[in-house]
Structure 1
Amino acid sequence: MEMYAFLHFTTNTFTDKEWGYGDEPESVFNPTDFDADQIIGTLSAAGFKGAILTAKHHDGFCLWPSAYTEHSVKNSPWENGEGDVVKEISDACRTYQLKFGVYLSPWDRNYAGYGQPEYITYYRNQLKELLTNYGNVFEVWWDGANGGDGYYGGARETRTIDRSSYYQWDNLIPLVRELQPGACIFSDAGPDIRWVGNEHGFAQDSCWATYTPLPAKGETKAVAGTTQWQIGETGTQNGKFWMPAEADVSIRPGWFYHPSENDKVKSLKELVEIYFHSVGNGASLNLNIPPDRRGRINPVDSVRLMEFHAWLQEAFDDNLLERAHVTASSIRGGSDKYAAGNIIDDDPETYWATNDGEKGGTVIFQLPGEETFNCFMVQEYIPLGQRVTNFSVDVWQNGEWRPIAKGNTIGYKKLLRFPMVTANKVRLNIEQAMACPVISAAGLFLLPEVQ
C-alpha cells in the first residue's frame, strides 16, 4: 500500500485543540452531519487504499462505546448516545474496499489510573474491543507521546512513566498478533512499520527498509516513544529488522480540523513534493485528512485531494518504457527467467537479475523513437531484499552516455525527477549493490506541470 489516510477526529475537533487535556465533557463531541460514506468515499475517489482512525487520542475520549469507560460517544449527544464512529468508518471501508486501521493512544490524560498497573489492563481491554469487534484491521498505530500533565480523573497533575517498561509492549504485541494476525504494527520502534522520523512526509534518498531501533539517550530499551527516531529517515543498511518507513503528514498545519486553517490546506505543489519524497523514496504515505465539525471531509480538502489524484493519474498514465526494447549487460545464468524484458512485463513476480558475484550491471531501454521525459521510476524485487546502494540514469546523446539523475537506495520504489530531456535510448546503471541486483520494474514518464 503506497498511500492511505489518517483520520484525526475527536473532541479536539470541537474545542480547537491539538491535544485535549482529558477534562472535555462528552457533550463536546457532537458532529452535526456525520457521514462515514462521504469520508471514505472521498478517500476512495482520491485513490487512497486505506484509512486509519484515531479511535482514542491522548485526551482519552473513545469514538466507540467502550465498556470500560464513560468517556466515550455513548455519553455524547451525537446519535443520542447510540452512535459508534469506529463501526461506521470500518463499515464504510468495507463498502469502498479500503483497508481499515486503528490508532489507540497509549497515553490517556482522562483515565484516573494512568501511570498505575491498572491502566495497562484497561488499555489491553480497549485494544481487544477494537481488534475483535470491527472486522479486519490492517494497521495498529502506536504514538510515541507518553506521559505528562493531564486531568487524570480530576487529579490535574503531571505524571511520568518508565516509557521503556510501563506499557509492557512485549505482552501487547503478541495480543495484536493473536487477534489480528494480518495487522502491521506501527511505532518509532516498529515492530513492523517504523516512523519516518519527521512529520513533514519526507524520507531521505538513502532509505533502507531494514532498521535497527536504538534507544535514545537516557532510555534503556528501544520501544515506542524511546528511540533515536531521527534514524527513521534513512533506516539502517543491513539493519536487524525488516521495518519499512511510513511517512505521516497532515494536509493542514494541524492534525485536527480547525476552521482557521481552511485557507492553509497544502497546495497541489506541496502534496506532489511530499509524494516524491515519501513514496518516491520507498516509504508509504499516510496523509492526514481530518474530518470537520460536521463529521465530513471539508470541501477545501476534498477539492485538493481530487486535484492531487488527477495529477498523479496524468503523471503516471503513460509509461514510455512499455514500448522499449530491453537489453542488459548480463542475465543470470543466461535464463529467460531473469531476462531484462521482465522489467517491463507488468508482472511484479518477475525480475531481471545478474549472476552471483556481479554487484552491478546495466539495463538499456531502446525506445521506438525519440521521446521527451523528466521522471524515471525503478523498483527492486523486494521478496529478495533491498540491495542497490548507488545507481544512475543515463541517456544516449551525441554518441555517448550522459547521466541525468543519480540515486542511492532503490527499494520498493524510487522516483527520480530531472530537467526535461529528449532521447531514444535510456540506461539504468547500477554502480554498486550488496548482492546481485534484482530489478522488477521500471518506468519513464513525462510529468505535467503543477498548476
Structure 2
Amino acid sequence: MTAAAASGRARAPALAAVRPSERQLTWQTMEFYGFIHFGMNTVTDREWGEGHDDPALFDPAGLDADQWVATLKSAGMTGVILTCKHHDGFCLWPSDVTAYSVASSPWLGGQGDVVAEVAAAARRHGLRFGIYLSPWDRHDASYGSGTAYDDFYVAQLTELLTRYGPVFSVWLDGANGEGPNGKVQVYDWERYYAVVRELQPDAVISVCGPDVRWCGNEAGDTRPDEWSVVPRALQDAERTADRSQQTDDGTFARLVRNDDRDLGSRTALAGHEDDLVWYPAEVNTSIRPGWFHHPAEDAQVRPVDELFTIYLRAVGGNSCFLLNVPPARDGRIRDTDVAVLERLGRRIEDFRARRIEATATVSSGTPGDIATAWPGAGRTPWRPDDTDPRPGVTLAFGRPRPVEAVVVGEDITQGQRIEHVVVRGRRDGRWTTLAEAHAVGYQRILTFAPTEVDAVLVEVTEARDTPVVARAAAIGGAS
C-alpha cells in the first residue's frame, strides 16, 4: 500500500509523469537572481516612458556595471536580467535597426553599450546573464503593423542573443498598448520563441513564454502551495498579458489577486489530465515601490526582514525569486539598497549555516545523502519502497536542539509527486506536529515557532506516486 492509498487517495502516476526540461532544471537550481531596470525612464523619473524623449538626456557618467553585479551577488543572487529595452523603445545597446539607442546619446561619445557592460560584469563575478526585451515599443513607427514590426522585434532579439554570450533567461512581459501609429500589435509569440530556441537553446523563456510561469503579481506574494504541473492553457501568452499591468498607475506593483490560488491540486487538474505541462513559477518584485529608480523613493527601500520573508516563501515555496534593484540616474545603485542587500545576503548565509547535523533513518529503502544535501540536492535521493504505507525520514540530532524550519525537496527529474507532507518534532519521547504542506516540488522551507526537539520526522501522507526525496534538513533557531 502506498502513502496515497493509506490516506484513502488513489495514486495518480500520470500526474507524476510530467517532467521538466533540462533548461527548466538548470533554471530551478538558480533559486534567487536579480532584475536591473535602467534606461531612459531612470533619467526622466518615470515608470513608462512614451517613446519620444531625446537620447541626449541619457548620459550616466558614473555607470558601474561591476557595482550592480557585485551588489546582487552580495545578496546571494546567482544571475542578473537587464531591461535591454523597456516600453519606451530606447535601446541600451547600439541596435542596427533603430537610431533610438545609446549610440545616439552623449554617453561615452555614443560608443557605449550597457548590455555589453552588464554581460561582461556578470561573467567576471560568476553570475549568469539574462535579457528583458519589451514586446511593446512606443517609439518605433512599425509597431501595430503586424509582420513588419515582428521583423523589427526579431532583429533586435537576434542582436541580443548573438552578441553577448550565453543567456539564461529571455524575460517577456505582456505589455501591449498603442504605438506611435495609434495601433496595437498582435505579437507573433511562436516566432519569438523559435528564435530563442535556435540561438540560445539553454535559455528559459519566462512569463509570456513556455518555460517559466509568472506567479500572478508583482508584490512578491507566493501561493500557499505552488505546483509545477499545471494545465497547458496556463502557457497562453495572451492570458498572461491580459492579467499583466495595463496602465502606469502605480498600484499594480502591490496588487495580489485571490482568484487563482490553486493551480495544480488534483481538483484543479480535474478534466485536464491529458493536457498537462511542467510550468514552474517565478516570484518577482522590486526592492522599491517602483521598478525604475526614483529619488522620491530613496527612503522606501524594503527592509531586510521583509525581503528575507519573501525569499523564504519563494525559494522555499517551489519557486524562484527575481528581485529588482534599480540603479540611479548617475549609473550607480544607491548606498541604502547596497547595504540592505548585503545584510540580506548575510541573513541567508546565516540561515543556511544553521542546518543541524543529523543522522537520517527512513521508513524503508536507504536514505542516501539527503540529510547532508542542503543547500543543494543529494547525489543519491531517497526512494521508499512502493509498498511503504507512510514514507518518512527521521533526522535525529543526538540531543535536544531548538528548530525553527525544515527544508524538504523532491527529485524533480522524477516529477512532482508529494501531495501532503507533515513535519513532527520529538521531545521526551512524544511527537508533536510542527508544520505541514501540500505541494513540495523542488524545495519547500517550512517555518514555525522555535521548538526544542531531539529529532524531526518528515512524513509523506499523500502522493501521486512513490515519492523521491532529494533533500531533508532541519534548521536551528537563531542564537
TM-score (norm 1): 0.90
Offset at residue 224 of structure 1 (A): 6.7
| Conservation of the 8 A alpha-carbon contact between 1:215 and 1:228 | no
Which whole-Å deviations, capped at 9, do the CAs of 1:375-398 have from their partners, x for residues lacking one?
111111111111111111101234
Partners of 2:389 and 2:224 lie apart in 1 by 20
Q: Which runs of 5+ in 1 are unaligned?
A: 332-338
| Conservation of the 8 A alpha-carbon contact between 1:351 and 1:440 | yes
Which whole-Å deviations, capped at 9, do the CAs of 1:26-45 have from their partners, x for residues lacking one?
11211121111111122223
Which whole-Å deviations, capped at 9, do the CAs of 1:53-86 have from their partners, x for residues lacking one?
0000000000000010011000111111110000
| Conservation of the 8 A alpha-carbon contact between 1:113 and 1:119 | yes
Which of 198, 206, 217 matches 2:225?
A: 206
Match of 1:180, as an amino acid? Q
| Conservation of the 8 A alpha-carbon contact between 1:359 and 1:437 | no
Which of 402, 411, 429 matches 2:459?
A: 429
| Conservation of the 8 A alpha-carbon contact between 2:368 and 2:380 | no
Match of 2:437, as an amino acid? G
Which whole-Å deviations, capped at 9, do the CAs of 1:267-314 have from their partners, x for residues lacking one?
111101111221110100010001111111111100000010011111
Which of 317, 320, 333 matches 1:284?
A: 320
1:60-79 aligned at under 5 Å gives the runs 60-79=89-108
Which of 310, 320, 330 matches 2:346?
A: 310
Task: Tell me if 1:111 matches 2:145.
Answer: no
1:139-154 aligned at under 5 Å gives the runs 139-148=169-178, 150=179, 152=180
Partners of 2:234 and 2:420 lie apart in 1 by 29
Partners of 1:349 and 1:382 lie apart in 2 by 13
Which of 396, 399, 409 matches 2:426?
A: 396
- Name 1:169's counterpart in structure 2: 189
Offset at residue 408 of structure 1 (A): 1.1
Task: Tell me if 1:296 matches 2:332.
Answer: yes
Partners of 2:234 and 2:360 lie apart in 1 by 47
Offset at residue 349 of structure 1 (A): 2.6
Q: Which runs of 5+ in 2 are unaligned?
A: 1-29, 245-256, 270-274
Which of 78, 83, 107 matches 2:112?
A: 83
| Conservation of the 8 A alpha-carbon contact between 1:255 and 1:288 | yes
Partners of 1:40 and 1:354 lie apart in 2 by 43
Offset at residue 228 of structure 1 (A): 6.3
| Conservation of the 8 A alpha-carbon contact between 1:213 and 1:227 | no
Which of 141, 160, 182 matches 2:184?
A: 160
Partners of 2:415 and 2:222 lie apart in 1 by 19
Q: What is the total number of aligned residue pairs between the two structures? A: 425
Runs of 4+ in 1 over 3 A off after TM superposition: 213-216, 221-235, 357-360
1:312-351 aligned at under 5 Å gives the runs 312-320=348-356, 322=357, 324-331=358-365, 339-346=366-373, 348-351=378-381
| Conservation of the 8 A alpha-carbon contact between 2:189 and 2:237 | no
Which of 190, 212, 218 matches 1:193?
A: 212
1:5-16 aligned at under 5 Å gives the runs 5-16=34-45
Q: Which moved more, 1:304-313 or 1:237-246?
A: 237-246
Which of 448, 451, 468 matches 1:418?
A: 448
Q: Which moved more, 1:438-447 or 1:137-146?
A: 438-447
| Conservation of the 8 A alpha-carbon contact between 2:93 and 2:112 | yes
Partners of 2:184 and 2:388 lie apart in 1 by 54
Where 2:360 maps in the other structure, the secondary structure is strand
Q: RMSD of the TM alignment (CA)? A: 2.0
| Conservation of the 8 A alpha-carbon contact between 1:16 and 1:257 | yes
| Conservation of the 8 A alpha-carbon contact between 2:174 and 2:242 | no
- Name 2:402's counterpart in structure 1: 372
Relative contact order higher in (CA < 8 Å, ≥ 6 apart): 2
Partners of 2:231 and 2:477 lie apart in 1 by 36
